[in-house]
A and B are shown apart, each in its own frame.
Chain A
Amino acid sequence: MTTEPSAPPRQPTLRLRDPRHRVHPRAILWWTVRSAVFWVVVALVQVAFLVFADQPPGWLTTTLIITGVVGVLQMAVEPQWRYRVHHWEATPDAVFTRSGWIRQEWRVAPVSRIQTVDTKRGLLEQLFGLATVTVTTASAAGPVEIAGLGQADAARLVDELTATTQATAGDAT
């Protein structure tokens, strides 16, 4: 923001900074296992065909190999990449998140527009002691989700948001 009158009227380039906090490191493990489950199921279906079908098509072996290679690659890359991308932050005014890997997304929701704050724990998440915090607003565009938080962090975040949300008036639409 230069104020010199002689400066050309060029505006500075803006970018979004990362939200302050990372998700829990165990989330890497969680994402890996989640992918593993998916790929094992995909592979098992093909194996079942290979074993039980009378005359399994020849290309099934090829797709099985491809499944294996893609699966291993994805499991090696995605969780690490996600961990680098996923960030979150809650200020008194807004919730700010970044998520995704190949396709990334930043979301900002003002605290004054928050309608509900929920915690949810899937089976795998419970296994790793993680939780997902879902913050909904009146928009149909979908809630702001912070996945892979440590359970203590999640509980603290929910308390904090609930407190600030209640302090703000209005019907959040």
Chain B
Amino acid sequence: MSTETETVASSPVDVPEPEWRRLEARTVLVRPFNEFIGFIPLLIGAIALGQHNDQKIWYGLGVITLLIARGVLHWATTRYRITDEQVEIRHGLINRQRMTTRRERIRTVEATAKFGHRLFGVTSVRIGTGQHEHKGHRPVRLDAVTTAEADRLRRVLLQRNDIAVADPTSPAEPPAGVVLAKLDWRWLKYAPLTLSGLFAAAAILGVVWRSVNELDINVSRVGLMRSGVRWFEHASAGAVIAAVTLVAVVLIVFGSTLIYVLKYSGYELTREPDDTLHVRRGLLTTSAVTIEEARLRGVEIREPLLLRAGRGARCLAVATGLAHRSESHLLMPPGPAVEAHRVASRALRLTDGTSPTQVRLARHSAKALRRRLVRAVGSGLVVVLLLWLASVALGWPVWLWQVACVLPVLGVPLGWNRYRNLGHALTPRYLVSRSGSLERRTVALQRTGIIGWQVRRTFFQRRAGLITLTASTSAGRGAYHVFDITTSDGLRLADEAVPGLLTPFLVED
């Protein structure tokens, strides 16, 4: 392994056409194993409760066999190679596919190992290019290769010819990167402030409910449940609400802490000597994301309502070639907001330690406030109106619309907060925009990364003299908005952020 690294690193010109490689043979077992883990609660339930249903077990075994067959097929038909110019992947038996990606287009390399992968010492590698993943635009993924090979791929693929190669005398151990941030276990107190606990609690309940359902367990036969149900029948409404709230809070705190530990333990953000940012994290499923720094287009600070109340934040990268569903663009997990801004400034190589996400933002006009309020209160009123109509026409219960009257009232602080969070600024290198209340997002987008503008105006915005300005970029979500900015201010902001682009189309009044 180490000799190969050396050859590739030392003289890329003389290397003969590289051989086609296969995925790691152990892969065949990994995927079925990962799927199998999902069956475990069912099996435990079946064995522990002695209520197995033969048909279901055969069915499960059949599915597992099919999965193994698919794994074998996937392994047997997949080949890949890396030439000086490009990465080529061939796969498929009947429907043969050949994917070719030019190496200079590779922006990110992401190595993910689920629990099954870890057990077999393999890793799944995803290669991100500048191409956005539309439907039909499949990501380039090698699932899976050995962990050592994944590490080699990461280093080789993001290596540019003009970048000095790491010391060839010790190719197996490249010089360590500079640590920019590390997990601080005190951050764990921010875990319950993320809403992940809600999902965790829902997932736990879901698994329990499914198992109970699948195994035809009669709930009323379990003693604990029976006494619980009996208590519910006799307790007062207040006690029931208190008990339910308590259980929910405990579940959420426990669930979110567990998820935080699973997702973020071992978190470390480093800058590698080859000018890449490297984010490692995960307990059972580990993930290592490498982002080419030259392709980092900015940073985003996200502060959901609860986390914001606890002065916490997350920091994300605005970069090309990252999957956006997962958290592969994460630079810092939920932690102190101060630290998130510090990580942002370090990731952007700002020496003075102040992040553009912290600059003073220009407030939007009072008309924007009116729009926020009208929209927040108005949507609540619409709900009330619909429920009232339903109660009159369709005989829905009256208390529905009466309870819903809370919504327009809540709309006032929501609209106010949404307005307070609107803001924009221009620094010498970044366009900064902030919006949102339930989740406040502050984006600092590199001005040179802006590849076009959209100016949008609805009927009501036109009457208020406002526009929504959208900067297009190849990175991150691809479009970043400045909401409800005065037409003139918005156009001036766009014109100053990218000099020349908009100028020929502007007129003064």
Contact = CB atoms under 8 A, between A and B. Distances in A.
A102 B462 CA distance: 10
Interface in B440-476: 451-459, 462, 470, 472-474
Given A13-B508, A17-B505, A106-B455, A139 B491 contact: no
Given A104-B457, A109-B452, A110-B451, A139 B508 contact: no
B479 A140 contact: yes
Contact of A138 (B474, B507, B508): B474
Interface residues of B, number: 37
A138 B457 contact: no
Contacts of B456: 103-106
A37 to B, nearest CB: 25
B79 interface: no
B478 A139 contact: yes
A141 interface: yes
B451 A113 contact: yes
B105 interface: yes
Interface string B31-43: 0000000000000
A103 B452 contact: no
B495 A110 contact: no
A14 B454 contact: no
Given A141-B479, A171-B105, A12 B508 contact: yes
Contacts of B71: none
Nearest to A110: B501
Contacts of B508: 1, 12-14
B378 interface: no
A172 B472 CA distance: 13
Q: How large is the interface on A (under 10, 10 to 19, 20 to 34, 35 or more residues)?
A: 20 to 34
A15 B472 contact: no
Interface string A30-74: 000000000000000000000000000000000000000000000
A15 B487 contact: yes
Given A15-B491, A15-B506, A16-B506, A110 B452 contact: yes
Nearest to A11: B492
A154 B105 CA distance: 31
A14 B506 contact: yes
A140 B487 contact: no
B130 interface: yes
Contacts of B105: 171
Contacts of B473: 139
A103 B132 contact: no
Interface in B198-244: none
B17 interface: no
A172 B451 CA distance: 9
Contact of B492 (A14, A108, A137, A144): A14
B505 A107 contact: no
B54 interface: no
A115 to B, nearest CB: 9
Contact of A108 (B478, B479, B501): B501
Given A110-B501, A173-B320, A103 B470 contact: no
A91 interface: yes
Contacts of B455: 16, 105-107
Contacts of B130: 138, 171, 173
Q: Taking each of A14, A102, A107, A142, which has the highest tally of chain B beta carbons within 10 Å of its own beta carbon?
A: A14
B501 A139 contact: no
Nearest to B487: A15
Contacts of B507: 14-17
Contacts of A106: 453-456, 505
Given A94-B501, A139-B479, A108 B453 contact: yes
Nearest to B451: A113
Contact of A12 (B452, B501, B509): B509
Q: Among A12, A108, A142, find the residue whose CB has the most chain B CB atoms closer than 10 A.
A: A108
B65 interface: no
A108 B474 contact: no
Nearest to B495: A14
A12 B495 CA distance: 13
A129 interface: no
A168 to B, nearest CB: 13
A14 B491 contact: yes
B451 A107 contact: no
A83 interface: no
A71 B451 CA distance: 39
Interface in A83-136: 89, 91, 93-94, 96, 102-110, 113
Contacts of A108: 452-454, 501-502, 505
Contacts of B320: 138, 173
Most B-side CB within 10 Å, residue of A13, A89, A137: A13
Given A19-B505, A137-B472, A173-B474, A14 B487 contact: yes
Interface in B117-165: 130-132
B287 to A, nearest CB: 23
Contact of B477 (A137, A140, A172): A140
B504 interface: yes
Contacts of A17: 505-507
Given A15-B509, A171-B105, A109 B487 contact: no
A137 B505 contact: no
Contacts of B478: 139-141
Nearest to B472: A139
- Give 4 nearest A-B pairs by CB, closest first: A140-B478, A141-B479, A138-B474, A139-B472
28 contacts: A12-B508, A13-B509, A14-B487, A15-B488, A15-B506, A16-B507, A17-B505, A102-B458, A102-B459, A105-B454, A106-B455, A107-B452, A107-B455, A108-B453, A108-B502, A108-B505, A109-B451, A110-B451, A110-B501, A137-B452, A138-B474, A139-B472, A140-B132, A140-B479, A141-B452, A141-B454, A141-B472, A144-B452
